[in-house]
Amino acid sequence: MSDLNYTLPNVSSPELPPRDGIVMVVYPKLVPSAYATIRALREILGCSLPIEIWYRPDEMEHAPKALDPLRYLAQNSSGGQISFHQITDPVAKRFVAKIYAIHNSFFDRVLFLDADNVPVRDPSFLFNSIDFLQTGAIFWPDFWHPTSTMFGLHSQSMLWELLNMPFVDMFEQESGQLVVDRRRHGAPLELVLLYATHEPNFFVHYKLAWGDKDLFRLAWLKLNATFHMIETPPAMAGMVTNSSAFCGMTMVQHDPEGEILFLHRNKHKLTGLESGSTVAKNSEPEGPESEHSNSLRVDEYPDPVIWTHLLSFDGNWSREHYVVQAFTTSLNFTSKQKCFGRRSLRHSQQFYVQTFANQTFAGLETDLRYFAKHATQL
């Protein structure tokens, strides 16, 4: 399907080279995460893609200086422009803000990143990947699929009747990262916005979909628009407990070749603050001394180290054996940590565990924890 005749706001002429960039949406509590991700992109990964920061002014009213750390980066960081854009549409709240930002971005080709999602390599290459050039959209799978779903997205779901389309047997979508050519896919992006804002909203009323996460693939499927869904199921970054459970607190996503690319810290976000503390402004913390010294940083930076191990699916097993469990456990920094992983590694032969310290990006968490602390002091 071609969407060349459907034009979204702010796209450039097809005769001009496409404008590529990163889009993020923030609210006050996400600023330390966004600050850490942007500094990692610029200073560690060498990514020079321009970045749009979208926010709702009404969410900033009770924290008028919340954006100061990001404005500081915009003024003092080299390597790429950072711009700020207000979301004033009263409907564009919560997950709709993400859809609104992508829909109205000033970039032609967008890498959307949740603020708590950090790449382990410069992600610019995605815009030139074969899968993106062929389809104009790259999506990533969620933990869930029709035989193991938290959200009832299986063959008997009312969703398929609502959308007047046949059941599609595939992984659900996780939208913490998206790559979309807005010039090419105007119509499905408009349909995503309709799905999210139409009243009455049957997705919400009948609990047929959770937030925005599946609306993108559903709109693309409905319009028979082309996209590439990453084939490697998500891994998990987290900790092995004393009871041999694996508590995943970060969703690990892969590139089209199956290599780790994104660490989405969605179950334990960075704050840069001690629990219940207030940090004095204008005091620069000492920087990290080593790229691979997370174990030495537990008491230096407020956020705990949560990336000690990786849990990945053994691709020799069929999809039905990819079963991620949701549970709550006690860890050394909290008595009630929500986890996605496995309650018992002894009964998880379909998965394998790796030590995080052996990864090429092992030092990234130290840097992120340092950056998050710095964000609270600006």
User: Which tens digit of pLDDT belongs to each residue from 135-170?
Assistant: 999 999 999 999 999 988 999 999 999 999 999 999
Q: Which phi and psi (to 5°) does residue 59 adopt?
A: -80, -15
- Whether the pLDDT of residue 289 is over 50: the answer is no
pLDDT digits (tens, 9 = 90+) for 11-56: 999 999 999 999 999 999 999 999 999 999 999 999 999 999 999 9
For residue 69, name the pLDDT band (cuts at 50, 70, 90).
very high
- Whether the pLDDT of residue 310 is over 60: the answer is yes
For residue 226, name the pLDDT band (cuts at 50, 70, 90).
very high
Mean pLDDT of 338-350: 97
For residue 342, name the pLDDT band (cuts at 50, 70, 90).
very high
- Whether the pLDDT of residue 302 is over 90: the answer is yes
Mean pLDDT of 279-288: 44
Residue 77, amino acid:
S
pLDDT value for 210: 87
pLDDT value for 294: 40
* pTM exceeding the 0.75 threshold for the entire prediction: yes
Q: Which residue intervals of 164-248 are DSSP H helices? A: 186-197, 202-205, 215-222
Q: Which of 228-232, 283-287, 318-322, 326-330 has the lowest mean pLDDT?
A: 283-287
Task: Give how far the C-alpha of residue 124 lies from the chain's centroid of Cα atoms, to the nearest Å.
Answer: 16
pLDDT value for 285: 45
For residues 183 and 14, give the distance between their C-alpha atoms in angstroms, rounded to a whole number: 8
Residue 310, amino acid:
L
* Three-state DSSP class for residue 236: strand
Dihedral through CA 346, CA 351, CA 354, CA 359, nearest 10? -170
Alpha-carbon torsion 296, 42, 123, 187, what sign?
A: positive
Residue 63, amino acid:
A
For residue 364, name the pLDDT band (cuts at 50, 70, 90).
very high
* Percent of the chain clearing pLDDT 70 (strictly above): 92
pLDDT value for 205: 82
* Three-state DSSP class for residue 36: helix
For residues 108 and 183, give the distance between their C-alpha atoms in angstroms, rounded to a whole number: 6
- Whether the pLDDT of residue 365 is over 80: the answer is yes
Average pLDDT, the chain: 92
**Omega of the bond prior to 200 within 30 degrees of 0, cis?**
yes
- Whether the pLDDT of residue 1 is over 50: the answer is no
Please state, in angstroms and as integers, the Cα–Cα distance from residue 338 to each residue in 107, 190, 233, 238, 305, following that order.
36, 34, 20, 11, 15
Alpha-carbon torsion 297, 298, 304, 308, what sign?
A: positive
Closest to 177 (Cα-Cα) out of 230, 223, 225, 129: 230
Copy the structure tokens of residue 41.
Answer: 């992109």
Q: Are 260 and 140 in contact (CB under 8 A)?
A: no
For residue 282, name the pLDDT band (cuts at 50, 70, 90).
very low
For residue 211, name the pLDDT band (cuts at 50, 70, 90).
confident
pLDDT value for 253: 99
Sheet holding 109-113: strands in order across? 82-86, 51-55, 20-25, 109-113, 173-181, 137-141, 228-229
Mean pLDDT of 222-230: 98
For residues 110 and 138, give the distance between their C-alpha atoms in angstroms, rounded to a whole number: 10
pLDDT value for 105: 99
Of 207 and 214, the structure prediction assigns the larger pLDDT to 214
Element (H, E) at 355: strand 351-355
pLDDT value for 290: 40
For residue 78, name the pLDDT band (cuts at 50, 70, 90).
confident
Mean pLDDT of 314-336: 97
pLDDT digits (tens, 9 = 90+) for 244-256: 999 999 999 999 9
For residue 2, name the pLDDT band (cuts at 50, 70, 90).
very low
pLDDT value for 274: 85
Of 262 and 290, the structure prediction assigns the larger pLDDT to 262
